[in-house]
């Protein structure tokens, strides 16, 4: 069966986290060539999230993944980005990026400067992008089939209530542009659709509405399904707008807990990766960062309670250290200079089928401290280990053998295709990123 986005170039704005990440992974599974745009101003915080999303998209089946950063509130940067994108042969453009500011007292206490930035991101940036992309998309559609421009709007622009006046206005502007563009481009082979989404779980809008006792939230995957619907229909079936609200039927209600859990896991992972940014693998970091890391790890542990994380397909890999509280590792990382060297990458190599574990601290270009262990799986999340040997690899092929020195266990409290979080018998926490299949250090 052919995939819906096979051989199609798909642009997604706001693609690092949340709805954008779900859209990217969904279209990756449909074989798309992805161009992902993420926010430029928060590049440091989003670096890990952007990398993780790109890696997930590749693993999900994307033909290719290109990542771009752009400050969508800066019209000159948006224009420059749009001009570069115009020649990329885009088939589907998803205008997903958006910001939410304000509240129920916008007309009385709202900040017009914040409104200005919100309008630029929510309305003017997608309008500018469409202006540059549409001519080339029409040219391509005339010979290679229809194209799609899909804007992720909001039901606030359809059924406006007394709250969020400025936000609703920005989404009204986007909706109005989409409806006019729909009429202007439909006879040129490019379909334009607005998805008026209700509160989406994990977004600032949903959090604000929840505080006010408002409506429940839909799942980001609901928006992805609406996008796929547009790609499934015949060329003569051109939906102008899809409204998404939280379903009230029994089946939807039964699905909600599982959807909520998945969304909370993704949010906790994003929080964790943002918090450890700049912490130098555990050697640095503020009290605020430490508190945020502890909270994110605690939430992942709670959400993962009872799940199985020790399957060979999940656990077996070469894992590269991102952050740890393990004192011996941090001591070596910090004091390596006293021994005339410096520490490089730190790895944990697990091979469940072979029953082996290696903990490795590298000292480029030739040195390494390698601790070998045997392992066995004792429960859904627990791995028992027993040290079998330790080797200090020195320059010029020299090796210093050390005696094995203990045993213990660690629980993998969270694992996905990109990262793993574990806690051991001493209460230390380890956050690692997947770095390929298990490889043997000698």
Return the CATH class of domain 9-246. Answer: alpha beta
pLDDT at 108: 85
**Mean pLDDT of successive 10-residue segments in the chain (442 residues)?**
84 90 92 91 64 86 91 95 95 94 81 93 96 95 89 86 83 95 93 89 57 60 91 84 68 40 70 86 88 89 89 93 93 80 89 95 86 95 94 78 85 91 94 91 85
What is the rounded CA–CA span in Å between residue 157 and residue 75? 23
HEC profile of 400-426:
EEECCCCEEEEEEEEECCCEEEEEECC
What is the rounded CA–CA span in Å between residue 151 and residue 132? 15
What is the rounded CA–CA span in Å between residue 284 and residue 290? 10
- For residue 72, the number of C-alpha atoms closer than 13 Å in the C-beta half-sphere is 26
pLDDT at 315: 94
CATH topology of domain 307-434: Lipocalin (2.40.128)
Task: Answer for the pair 386, 399: CB distance below 8 angstroms, yes or no.
Answer: no
Q: Establish whether domains 9-246 and 307-434 are of one fold.
A: no
Tokens 């290719």 sit at which residue? 64
What is the rounded CA–CA span in Å between residue 231 and residue 142? 17
pLDDT at 25: 92
What is the rounded CA–CA span in Å between residue 100 and residue 154? 11
pLDDT at 56: 87
Q: Which two tokens stand for residue 90?
A: 């885009």
396: DSSP letter: G
What is the rounded CA–CA span in Å between residue 7 and residue 63? 8
39: CB partners within 8 A, 6+ apart:
14, 16, 46, 69, 70, 71, 72, 97
pLDDT at 49: 79
What is the rounded CA–CA span in Å between residue 361 and residue 369? 5
Task: Answer for the pair 320, 281: CB distance below 8 angstroms, yes or no.
Answer: no
Cα 402 to chain centroid distance, Å, stands at 42
Task: Answer for the pair 14, 38: CB distance below 8 angstroms, yes or no.
Answer: yes
pTM of the predicted model as reported, rounded to 2 decimal places:
0.57
Helix (H), strand (E) at residue 324: strand 317-324
Task: Answer for the pair 13, 95: CB distance below 8 angstroms, yes or no.
Answer: yes
Nearest Cα to Cα of residue 165 among 175, 153, 177, 157: 157
pLDDT at 262: 42
281: DSSP letter: B
Q: Which two tokens stand for residue 293?
A: 């890391």
Task: Answer for the pair 67, 96: CB distance below 8 angstroms, yes or no.
Answer: no
Q: What are the extents of the domains in the chain?
A: 9-246, 307-434
């Amino acid at each position: 069966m052919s995939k819906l986005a096979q051989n199609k170039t798909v642009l997604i704005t706001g693609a690092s986290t949340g709805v954008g990440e779900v859209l990217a992974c969904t279209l990756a599974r449909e074989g798309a060539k992805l161009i992902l745009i993420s926010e430029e101003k928060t590049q440091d915080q989003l670096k890990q999230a952007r990398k993780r999303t790109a890696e997930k998209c590749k693993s999900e089946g994307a033909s290719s993944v290109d990542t771009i950063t752009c400050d969508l509130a800066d019209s000159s940067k948006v224009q420059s980005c749009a001009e570069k994108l115009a020649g990329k042969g885009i088939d589907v453009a998803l205008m997903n990026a958006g910001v939410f500011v304000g509240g129920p007292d916008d007309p009385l206490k709202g900040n017009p400067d914040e409104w200005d930035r919100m309008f630029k991101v929510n309305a003017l940036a997608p309008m500018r992008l469409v202006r540059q992309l549409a001519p080339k998309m029409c040219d391509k559609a005339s010979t290679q089939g229809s194209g799609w421009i899909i804007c992720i709007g909001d039901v606030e622009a359809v059924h406006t209530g007394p709250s969020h006046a400025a936000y609703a206005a920005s989404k009204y502007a986007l909706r109005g542009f989409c409806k006019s563009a729909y009429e202007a481009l439909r006879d040129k082979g490019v379909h334009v659709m607005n998805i008026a989404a209700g509160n989406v779980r994990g977004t600032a809008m949903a959090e604000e509405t929840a505080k006010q006792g408002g409506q429940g939230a839909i799942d980001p995957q609901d928006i992805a399904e609406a996008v796929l619907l547009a790609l499934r229909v015949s060329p003569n079936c051109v939906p102008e707008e899809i409204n998404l609200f939280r379903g009230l039927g029994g089946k939807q209600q039964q699905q909600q807990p599982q959807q909520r859990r998945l969304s909370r896991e993704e949010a906790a992972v994003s929080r964790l990766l943002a918090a450890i940014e700049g912490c130098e693998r555990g050697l640095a970091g503020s009290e605020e960062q430490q508190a945020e890391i502890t909270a994110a790890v605690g939430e992942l542990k709670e959400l993962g309670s009872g799940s199985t994380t020790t399957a060979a397909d999940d656990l077996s890999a070469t894992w590269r250290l991102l952050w740890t509280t393990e004192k011996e590792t941090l001591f070596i990382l910090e004091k390596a200079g006293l021994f005339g060297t410096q520490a490089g990458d730190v790895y944990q190599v697990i091979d469940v089928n072979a029953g082996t574990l290696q903990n490795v601290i590298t000292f480029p270009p030739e040195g390494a401290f390698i601790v070998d262990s045997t392992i066995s799986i004792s429960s859904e999340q627990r791995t028992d280990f027993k040290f079998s040997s330790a080797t200090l690899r020195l320059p010029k092929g020299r090796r210093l053998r050390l005696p094995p020195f203990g045993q213990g266990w660690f629980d993998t409290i969270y694992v996905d295709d990109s990262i793993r979080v574990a806690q051991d018998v001493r209460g230390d926490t380890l956050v690692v990123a997947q770095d390929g299949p298990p490889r043997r250090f000698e």
